[in-house]
Structure 1
Amino acid sequence: MTWIARFYETRIEQMLQPGKVLWLYGSRQVGKTSLLNRVLEGRGKVFRGDGQDMVLNRLLTSLDLTQIQTAFRGYDLVFIDEAQKVEHIGQALKLLIDHEPQLQVVVSGSSSFDLSQKVGDPLTGRQKVFMLFPVSVLELTELWGGIGVMQQLENLLIYGCYPETLTAPNLESKREYLVNLRDAFLLKDILEQERVKSPAKLFDLLRLLAYQIGGEVSLNELSNQLGIAKQTVERYLDLLEKVFIIKKVQGFS
């Protein structure tokens, strides 16, 4: 697979410090793990784990200092992917860096659900937060050149800049990837984390929003078209933003 160089690489390297936690978050499939794996090359002995792993999850959730210290002793850097899956992850990491201050710690997550409570509060002053976006036009210019970007502009506007859509061999592959991404990953996060009474209405809301990208959106109008309460529309929009499917932009006037 073609590696797309990210401008963030050097900046993330500079943000890594002993006794601090670097939290990298962003949408699923946006390239967080691939980027971090490149950044962590040559960083000594690195522990790589996943918050969805039952053994690691149980260890961190226990908040047992002795077990946590024993598990990570001898490592120079600890990297935990999908860290938001671990309850009280912030407290567990605080314990770790309080008693192993020489460690560098990196965690990544694909959802901002309870981000501040799970990570932020216990690590106030001890963390650095960095959000990774899809590939930018500037990054693509480095890869394709300015003319190449202009030639692909229509496809970029339609299919976006997720790394896999950029390297997909044809338009059908791009469509299939985006549908699978929506169904298997992005909306799955919402349905796992929050009780959504009518998933069908959530899909309908997405379709309505797709026709209004870049335009002004009326909550009352969406409520009437969907046949649900305005408060429900607001809640669904908030959920969609938390898993990075949409980004709300307020008016400037």
Structure 2
Amino acid sequence: MLTRKILATVRQALSRQASVALIGPRQVGKTTLALQIGEEQNALYLDLEDIQERDKLINAAVFLSAYEDRLVILDEIHRVPDLFLTLRGLIDQGRRRGQRTGRFLLLGSASLDLMRQSGESLAGRISYIDMTPLSVLEVPAEAIENLWVRGGFPDGFLAPGEQQSLSWRKDLLRTYLERDVPMFGARIPAETLRRFWTMLAHNQGSLINASRLAAGLEVSSQTVSRYTDLLVDLLLVRRLQPYPVNVGKRLVKSPKVYIRDSGLLHALLNIADRNALLGHPVVGASWEGFVIENLINAAPAFTVPGFYRTSGGAEIDLLLELPGGERWAIEVKRSRAAKPARGFYEACEDLKPARRFVVHAGLERYPISEDVQAIGVRELADNLSRLEM
């Protein structure tokens, strides 16, 4: 049983806000965490994927009013989008009676979709919390390589064998393609989206070239953008934007795209285990995406992530602008002999970041030069997470 670091964040949010939305991909562990909180607080749990549970909310105001003294957990809230206005009324009624916190815990599988539905109706009454797959801070240090290979979805990570883990991840991909995507209203053939998703996997960490992807799928560039938007909304793909800065040089302006979970990336490419991964051309890009995702998720709230690249070859894999404006420059290397390329030093001369790191595959920390440190992903993620304390 792994303890999720976000558990304390959810408890704290419920103690200060009337409603909390816990948002993350399907099977990331939202329900398990919510049920744990529910046991602590004698909560009412409703799974809105169950038609019988949804029927209880035909007259939602009357039904939920009977539980005004208890936390109510509403799972898969996007199934009943009209419910948000009712929740607003119940929260406002409770506030007039002095009940201001801990009314509703809402679970959703698509961030932007959920925010569009609840943004206006629950403004000032809701906190949003992103729940990611397991991170390097939630598994033992000796399990980091396994986390990289299998990804952070708990059932895939904890599977008894490599083949069982791969099969579980492929089943999850199929669920998204055949069930979840149509549920969110996108009329995309499952096989077309699978091909597109696999093309993104082969281009892990590359600049988005919509025209080339469109030609491969025999669709328009606008359609490729729509497919990408959908996978971003479902929290499965990250678009890492170029860092906006005026340095008087010609900058790359296209975003880079990453499959957010390394385990899903490997399932899309049919990579079964560590040995197969180490011999695959995607190994470097896979490690880069794994490190970037863990560091972004560990960084303080309101950190601005990006990358920096000029036409002349100056490049920083990940640039974090922390709250307050301090910049950290991060180069990612799979090799334990962490030596940054010349372009990293040139980029640092352009941007003058306060901290400069090269993340390698080991656990050791040592200086590379006077102002550049080699460091493991776990230690750097821990350093970033402590900035919030």
Task: Give ranges in structure 1 of 5+ residues lacking alignment.
Answer: none
Question: What is the rounded CA distance, in whole Å, between the counterparts of 1:165 and 1:55 in structure 2?
Answer: 30
Q: 1:139: which partner in 2?
A: 138
Deviating runs (4+, > 6 A) in structure 1? none
1:164 correspondence with 2:182: no
Q: CA deviation at 1:62?
A: 4.4
When structure 1 is superposed on structure 2, of 183-192 and 8-17 the one drifting more is: 183-192
Q: 1:122: which partner in 2?
A: 121
The alignment's TM-score, normalised by the length of structure 2, stands at 0.57
Q: Which has the higher strand share?
A: 2
Given that 1:88 and 1:119 are in contact with CA atoms closer than 8 Å, whether structure 2 keeps it comes out as: no
**Aligned-partner SS, 2:119:** helix
Matches within 5 A, 1:204-243: 204-243=195-234
What is the letter of the counterpart of residue 246 of structure 1?
A: V
Q: Choose which of 171, 175, 178 in structure 2 pairs with 1:184.
A: 175
Q: 1:38: which partner in 2?
A: 36
Q: CA RMSD in A?
A: 2.1
Given that 1:22 and 1:127 are in contact with CA atoms closer than 8 Å, whether structure 2 keeps it comes out as: yes
Q: Relative contact order (alpha carbons < 8 A, sep ≥ 6): 1 or 2 greater?
A: 1
Given that 2:71 and 2:103 are in contact with CA atoms closer than 8 Å, whether structure 1 keeps it comes out as: yes
Matches within 5 A, 1:10-49: 10-17=8-15, 20-43=18-41, 45-49=42-46
1:250 correspondence with 2:246: no
Q: CA deviation at 1:162?
A: 0.7
Given that 1:18 and 1:105 are in contact with CA atoms closer than 8 Å, whether structure 2 keeps it comes out as: no
Question: What is the rounded CA distance, in whole Å, between the counterparts of 2:89 and 2:50 in structure 1?
Answer: 20
Given that 1:60 and 1:86 are in contact with CA atoms closer than 8 Å, whether structure 2 keeps it comes out as: no
- CA deviation vs aligned residue, 1:71-94 (integer Å, no higher than 9, x gap): x25x42111111111131211211
- CA deviation vs aligned residue, 1:110-169 (integer Å, no higher than 9, x gap): 1236312322210100000001000110111xxx2x2x13xx51x433331111111101
Q: 2:5: which partner in 1?
A: 7
Distance 1:180 1:17, change over 3 A: same
Question: What is the rounded CA distance, in whole Å, between the counterparts of 2:127 and 2:31 in structure 1?
Answer: 17
Aligned-pair identity in percent equals: 27
Task: Give ranges in structure 2 of 5+ residues lacking alignment.
Answer: 244-307, 309-389
Given that 1:22 and 1:106 are in contact with CA atoms closer than 8 Å, whether structure 2 keeps it comes out as: yes
Q: CA deviation at 1:214?
A: 1.6
1:112 correspondence with 2:111: yes
Distance 1:161 1:182, change over 3 A: same
- CA deviation vs aligned residue, 1:10-31 (integer Å, no higher than 9, x gap): 1111111376110001000000
Q: Which has the higher helix share?
A: 1
Larger radius of gyration: 2
The alignment's TM-score, normalised by the length of structure 1, stands at 0.86
